[in-house]
Structure 1
Amino acid sequence: MADMTSKISAGLERAFAARGFAEPSVEDLRDAAGVSLRTLYKYVPSRADMVLAALENRHQRYLSRIFDGLPDVPEDATDEIFARVGSWMATETSHGCLFHAAVAADPNSARLRALLERHKAEVASRAAAATGLAAAETELLVIIEGLTQAWPICGEAAAEAAKRLGHALRISLG
């Protein structure tokens, strides 16, 4: 059952990341998930649930890709986090944050807003812990969010700027 949920969630994530939240039809989502319509609705009974399942999948993949196996040295971990966010943007999406896009597509969804807030809070908390900058969760999140939003315009230069800002933050908190 968990394998089927993972398969469906991964397919839905790919479909929404590639085509946005409004464009894919239910048939497109079924095809992306690689299951029958009956199975799709068994695991995710509504389009809103499909979006949430896709974002939960993305949340776990993002956290793993950005934070697993970071260097033990906090200064090195800081640079590595920003490099990995840049790599994520280059390979996973060049359009900005899928979580923000989901909330923009359905601004009245309390469930989406809660998921966005949980995702960003966990990113900030894990970044602060990995970098040894426990008092700078908000600042690190602002740098990561800035990198994510600047990537479509600046590309790799955004990741390099984030690294410089990370160094400046470490010095200012010195």
Structure 2
Amino acid sequence: MTDIQNQIDAGLEQAFAKHGFSEPNIETLRKATGVSLRTLYKYVPSRDKMILRALEHRHRRYMEHVFPEAETADPLPLATIVDRVAQWMRAETTHGCLFHAAVASSPQDGELRALLDRHKAEMANRAASMSSLKGSEGEISIIIEGLMQSWPLRGDESLRAAKVLCTLMPDVHRSGAGSIP
């Protein structure tokens, strides 16, 4: 990825995070990217593609924040991963998940839905793998999604509840009782 592409993607991400997906006009998006209109359209030919590029950029940043280390042989406590999600929410997403907001703004868009599904699946798979809880991806997803969706209303209270659920995961995982059909 070139510096210009990264600059555009970062600017688009910040513009959509700040203004939502229906409010910013093309001039607002162009200003956020710091490039000319011609350059913006050269790299991202439509508004729909701008949203997808912004979310792809968001996905990369989120994954780097929550999972900064490469997968190692030593398991990482699920509570540590949940703490990192809460740090992300405090700094980046105080109003809720940008991926869900994008899908809510255009519920019939299959590309947006696929990107949301891929983002959430990758997060759950990586968290399960790194915490040695393979097979519990569904439960992990529910814990993290619950944290993210309740964050705008409950903040740190959501984090405390998610961490309580994290303490139950090893027992549920060992017993096999938590697998979601």
What TM-score do the two structures reach when normalised by structure 2?
Answer: 0.91
Letter paired with 1:35 = V
Residues paired across the two proteins, number: 173
State the shift of 1:73 in Å.
Answer: 4.7
Q: Distance in 2 between matches of 1:77 and 1:34?
A: 40
Question: In 2, Cα distance between the equivalents of 1:85 and 1:128?
Answer: 14
SS of residue matched to 2:136:
helix
Deviation at 1:116, TM superposition (A): 0.6
Shift of 1:81: 0.6
Partner residue, 1:160: 160
Q: Tell me how far apart the structure 2 counterparts of residues 66 and 165 of structure 1 sit (CA, whole Å).
A: 18
Residue 9 of structure 2 corresponds to 9
Q: Which ranges in structure 2 are unaligned for 5 or more consecutive residues?
A: 175-181
1:72: Cα distance to partner?
6.4
Distance in 1, Cα, partners of 2:153 & 2:35: 37
**Helix, strand or coil at the partner of 2:21:** coil
Task: Confirm whether residue 102 of structure 1 aligns to residue 102 of structure 2.
Answer: yes
CA distance in 2, matches of 1:117, 1:138: 13
Identity of aligned residues (%): 53
CA distance in 2, matches of 1:25, 1:9: 16
Point out 4+ residue stretches in structure 1 off by more than 2 angstroms: 69-74
Partner of 1:77: 77
Q: Distance in 2 between matches of 1:4 and 1:112?
A: 24
Q: 1:172 deviation in Å?
A: 2.0
Q: Aligned to 2:94, what secondary structure does the other structure show?
A: coil
The letter for the 2-side match of 1:17 is: A
Q: Take 2:44 and 2:117, find their aligned partners in 1: how far apart are those partners?
A: 22
CA RMSD of aligned residues (A): 1.4
SS for the counterpart of 1:132 is: coil
Structure 1 residue 128: Cα displacement: 0.4
Structure 1: runs of 5 or more not aligned = none
Q: Which residue of 2 aligns with 1:35?
A: 35
Aligned to 1:138: 138
